[in-house]
Structures are given as C-alpha cells and as structure tokens.
Amino acid sequence: MPQLSSPVIVVEDDPFPRLIQVILDPRTPAERCAAFADLMAHDLPDFAGWCERVRRNAPALYPAEVRLVTSQEDLRANLPGADVLVVESLMVGREELDVADRLAVVQKYGTITRNIDTAACSARNVKILTLRRRANIACAEHALAMMLTLAKKLHRITGLISVEQLTAAGYSPTTFDRRHTANSGWARISGLKMLYESTLGIIGLGEIGRELALRAAAFGMRVIYYQRNRLSAAEEQQFNAHYATLDALLAESDWVSVHLPESPSTHHLMNRARLARMKPGACLINVSRAGIVDRDALIEALSSGHLGGFALDPLYQEPGRPDDELLKFDNVILTPHTAAQPRFNALNDFNDLIVGLARALSS
C-alpha cells in the first residue's frame, strides 16, 4: 500500500549510509550536505543535482525522517513507528521486530544476512532486501591488481624498455641467439610469478573476501580461507574456497589477503609470530585497515626477506609521508586509500538502494 505520510527510515550510522539522510531527510544539517558534496566533488561536481534525480526516482521515500542509530539499544529505541530499516552489522531479531510496529522492509547494506533473523521477518511479512555493493567489488579488484602488480613487478619495470634503462635499474638485459631461441625475457627480469596454480589464503570470507575468491578462482588459483565461523558446504562450493585453520593458511598460502574490520580482536592480528608462520617468500595483501598488520613486525619481515611482498590500502597514516620507511622496499605497494573508488561505486549503490526501497514500500 502507498504511504500516506512521510516514511520513517532507521539507518545504522556509518560514514556512507549517512548519504541516505542527506538525500531523503530535508532536516539534514547543511554542514553534512556540504561535507558530502566535497567528498564526491572530484567524481561528481553536481552532487546536489544528483540528489534531486534520486529523489525524483523514489517519490515514495521523499521527504522522509531518517534516524541514525549506533547500537542495538539505540536501534530498538528508534524502531517504533519506523517503516524501513537499513543495517550493516546490527542484529535484527525477534526483540527488534517486537517493537517495530510499522516496519515493512529491512535492507541489508550488503548481501550476507546472518545478522538478520530471516524467518522472524518472514513471519511478520517484513521484506528483506540485499545489495551487492560495488565498493566491495572494487576492493576485491584492487587486491587482485596488487597481487598481479607484485607478481609481474609492474611497479618496477613499467617503462624500462631500453638496455640503458634496464641496466641503470640493476638488470642485465641481453640479446639471445635468435637462430636457436626465442627472444622472450631478454630484459632478464628474475623472480616473476604466476597467480595460476598458486594458493591464495583469505582471512575473512565476508563481503569483500567472497568477491576476491570469485575472481581468484577465475585466475586458476587455489583458494583457502579462515574465519571464526566456517561457511556451509554449499557456500564453500559457491566460492570455490576451502576452510583451513589460520596456522595452516599462513603456512600454505603464496598470497595472504586480509579482509577484516579493525577491532580490539583484530588489531595486530598479523603480528610477529603470525608473519613468521607465513610461507617464506609469500606476499601479504591488506585492503582492510592498516592496524590489522603490526607495522614494526612487518618491516622486520620485509627486511629479513622472509616476506616476499606487501601491499596496503589504506595507509598507516593518512595522508602518508614521502619518507615512509615502507617506500624503501622494492616489493611493497602503497596506494592512497583508493581501493573502493571511484565515488560512483557508492553513488550508484545508494541510488539502487533507495529506488529499491521506494519500490518495496509502494508495492
């Protein structure tokens, strides 16, 4: 049934979901609207015009009252009178549904619904919507690009096409006897790797980890994963991933990719002991949060040669420093918090999310 009054939308407070408030709630402070316009400006100069277009495509949701919540208690306190709930990690169970007297739709900001009691929602005729986030796909692509860059040494050899350039860079280019051999590899770049037939260990097979697993399988990689809760057999088959203990993953993987939120339990998860357990020469990829990897232990592992390479986005300090000690290593890649970009990933995600909610609320 169409809504007869302005809808109430409860949103788990997080930097990007606040965009729902900016788009749909006219009472949003001008300072927040300006901050989002600045955030998007390098990809979307006309942010205000974009917001207007989204509103026109979702008339059932504009104007709305948007309530941002930060905890389970805050969530339950704001659910009475709410028509729509948007969550990422907050739990939606019977206790929440019991106080949600008008709730029609629960939107998961992602695709994994383990924090939502789907049976309880179904029993109360509450629709559940999911969103495959483009930003998560972008992060998986970025992790894969980092792996390819390290494997092929692209960050070191791109543009080195002459004997003089290669020699200056420390290589020993040559000309092979073409009467007998091919000329491939004349630059004599040693230590190049393949992703094919190598083992990728993913720590945290959540939204981004799953996207990476799908892409790694296409490259012919063996994928193993570790997290606190093992997936079902059907999910493991879907993502072509096999469960391993953390110690086994570290010992077996040629590539280790971390996909965890930073919290007290994950801070310095990759410490000196765990880095030492990694397969000698293996590479570590981190597109989650820098603090998951102990920086001092990381520098030790790189200096000793035990770690074959490292890639990071975002950085330990933002903006970074031109004298960052990590930059001295030729097997390290640092990028300035670009993994989830471009901005249109988030913009298109929230356009789809809002239009989908409007459609669900109107049906």
Would you write out the chain's pLDDT as a tens digit for each of its 363 residues? 444 579 999 999 999 999 999 999 999 999 999 999 999 999 999 999 999 999 999 999 999 999 999 999 999 999 999 999 999 999 999 999 999 999 999 999 999 999 999 999 999 999 999 999 999 999 999 999 999 999 999 999 999 999 999 999 999 999 999 999 999 999 999 999 999 999 999 999 999 999 999 999 999 999 999 999 999 999 999 999 999 999 999 999 999 999 999 999 999 999 999 999 999 999 999 999 999 999 999 999 999 999 999 999 999 999 999 999 999 999 999 999 999 999 999 999 999 999 999 999 998
Asked if 154 and 161 touch (Cβ cutoff 8 Å), the reply is no
What is the SS3 assignment for 324? coil
Q: Which two tokens stand for residue 295?
A: 């920086």
Distance of alpha carbon 221 from alpha carbon 143, whole angstroms: 14
Q: Does residue 337 have an active-site annotation?
A: yes
Check 134, 156, 289, 306 and give the catalytic one: 289
pLDDT attached to residue 363:
83
Cis peptide before 342 (omega within 30 of 0): yes
Distance of alpha carbon 228 from alpha carbon 230, whole angstroms: 7
Distance of alpha carbon 77 from alpha carbon 71, whole angstroms: 10
Distance of alpha carbon 265 from alpha carbon 191, whole angstroms: 36
pLDDT attached to residue 311:
98
Check 27, 179, 180, 318 and give the catalytic one: 318
Q: Where are the beta strands (DSSP E) in 119-221?
A: 127-129, 199-203
Q: Does residue 318 have an active-site annotation?
A: yes
For the stretch 329-339, what's the b/e string if a residue is b when 16 or more beta carbons lie within 10 angstroms of its beta carbon? Answer: bebbbbbeeeb
pLDDT attached to residue 1:
41
pLDDT attached to residue 5:
79
pLDDT attached to residue 4:
56
Q: Which two tokens stand for residue 361?
A: 């609320």
Contacts of 34 (CB under 8 A, 6+ apart): none
The tokens 């000698």 sit on which residue? 280
Q: Which two tokens stand for residue 333?
A: 């890649």
Closest by CA to 310, choosing from 141, 138, 147, is 147
CB atoms within 10 A of CB 152: 16
Distance of alpha carbon 136 from alpha carbon 108, whole angstroms: 14
Q: Does residue 96 have an active-site annotation?
A: no
Which conformational region is residue 359 in: left (phi greater than 0), alpha (psi within -120 to 50 degrees), or beta?
Answer: alpha
The tokens 């972008």 sit on which residue? 138
Asked if 272 and 297 touch (Cβ cutoff 8 Å), the reply is yes
Note the pTM of the prediction, 2 decimals. 0.94
Check 76, 222, 337, 359 and give the catalytic one: 337
Q: For the chain, which domains are there?
A: 8-131 (3.40.50.720), 136-153+191-334 (3.40.50.720)
